[in-house]
């Protein structure tokens, strides 16, 4: 019965930057103490992410600290973060450790972690590119209207080739075959060609609000960029924020 009682601890009271639990998989998300901590830390993180032009912070569960902690998203990784408390690197989605046997932070992907980091990079406009120009935006609009199915087919297949490896096998990732895998993914993308007409009206609806809100359009633009080229830089238009 004692194990069912969740022992809440908020240590390091000077900053309240982590929330410690007593055992792994302890369900604290519906408890008032955790909700209050989570809301406070989310507000702090949101302010930091909005004010800074590089890097992103998020909340993750660190197995080493046995705590929910503030984590820094690795600049060019799809799903790995660094615990700001103990500096451990792990996948924010499945909590898999980036240990010395598998240097996987920049080469493999967890779908859950990818979607979480992808969402954060969209709303805070982070990608590998800091600037954009009108000519790129015109190309992007054309690409959205006519090439989105091919892009999604290519992207989904490419990401599927780089899932986290089985810990009992070290041959799951073969960088020597990157070129062949990319060519194969492009070929798979072209199989989506018949869906261009089907996607067209949806893409028109998606892009239409961008006529009235340039900020909205930048979110769409950034989503296409950061899905394939993740990075820490805040996307800006030349001369604008």
Sorted by where each begins, the domain ranges of the chain are 2-40+51-124, 127-237
Question: Which of 21-30, 87-96, 108-117, 154-163 is the least confident region?
Answer: 154-163
Q: Which residue has the higher pLDDT, 163 or 220?
A: 220
pLDDT the model gives residue 105: 45
Buried b vs exposed e over 193-211: b needs ≥16 C-beta within 10 Å? eeeeeebeeebeebbeebe
Model pLDDT, residue 115 = 92
Split at pLDDT 50, 70, 90, the class of 166 is: low
Ordered alpha helix ranges (H), 82-133: 111-123
Structure tokens at 92: 């924010």
What is the spatial distance between Cα 74 and Cα 82, in angstroms, rounded to a whole number? 7
Residues 232 and 56: beta-carbon distance below 8 Å: yes
What pTM does this model have?
A: 0.78
| pLDDT, tens digit (0-9, with 9 covering 90-100), for 119-154 | 999 999 998 888 788 888 889 998 888 888 888 877
Q: Encode pLDDT of 14-66 as tens digits.
A: 346 788 888 777 788 888 888 888 888 998 899 999 988 888 999 999 888 88
Cβ contacts of 221 within 8 Å, gap of 6 or more: 132, 137, 140, 235
Q: What is the pLDDT of residue 118?
A: 93
Strand, helix or coil for residue 14: coil
The lowest-confidence range among 93-97, 194-198, 212-216, 235-239 is 235-239
| Closest residue by Cα to residue 42 from 57, 27, 32, 29 | 57
Contact of 115 with 58, CB cutoff 8 Å: no
Indicate the helix (H) or strand (E) that contains 226.
Answer: helix 214-228
Determine the Cα–Cα distance for residues 71 and 56; give it in Å rounded to an integer: 9
Interval 175-219: pLDDT, tens: 445 555 666 666 666 666 677 788 888 889 999 998 898 889 989
The pLDDT of residue 167 is 55
pLDDT at position 122 is: 92
Collapsed DSSP state (helix, strand, coil) of residue 135: helix
């Amino acid at each position: 019965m004692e194990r069912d009682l969740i022992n809440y601890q908020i240590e390091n009271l000077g900053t309240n930057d982590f929330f410690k639990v007593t055992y792994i998989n302890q369900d604290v998300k519906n408890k008032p103490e955790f909700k209050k901590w989570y809301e406070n830390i989310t507000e702090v993180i949101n302010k930091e992410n909005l004010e800074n032009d590089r890097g992103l912070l998020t909340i993750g569960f660190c197995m080493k600290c046995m705590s929910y902690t503030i984590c820094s998203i690795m600049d060019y990784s799809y799903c790995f973060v660094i615990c700001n408390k103990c500096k451990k690197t792990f996948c924010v989605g499945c909590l898999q450790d980036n240990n010395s046997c598998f240097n996987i932070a920049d080469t493999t992907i967890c779908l859950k972690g990818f979607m979480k980091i992808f969402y954060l990079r969209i709303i805070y406009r982070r990608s590998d590119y800091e600037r954009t120009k009108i000519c790129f935006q015109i190309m992007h609009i054309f690409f959205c209207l006519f090439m989105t199915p091919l892009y999604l087919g290519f992207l989904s297949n490419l990401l599927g080739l780089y899932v986290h490896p089985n810990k009992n096998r070290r041959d799951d990732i073969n960088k020597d075959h990157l070129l062949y895998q990319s060519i194969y993914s492009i070929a798979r993308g072209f199989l989506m060609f018949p869906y261009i007409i089907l996607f067209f009206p949806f893409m028109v609806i998606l892009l239409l609000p961008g006529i009235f809100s340039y900020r909205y359009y930048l979110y769409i633009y950034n989503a296409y960029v950061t899905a394939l080229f993740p990075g820490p830089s805040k996307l800006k238009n030349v001369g604008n924020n």
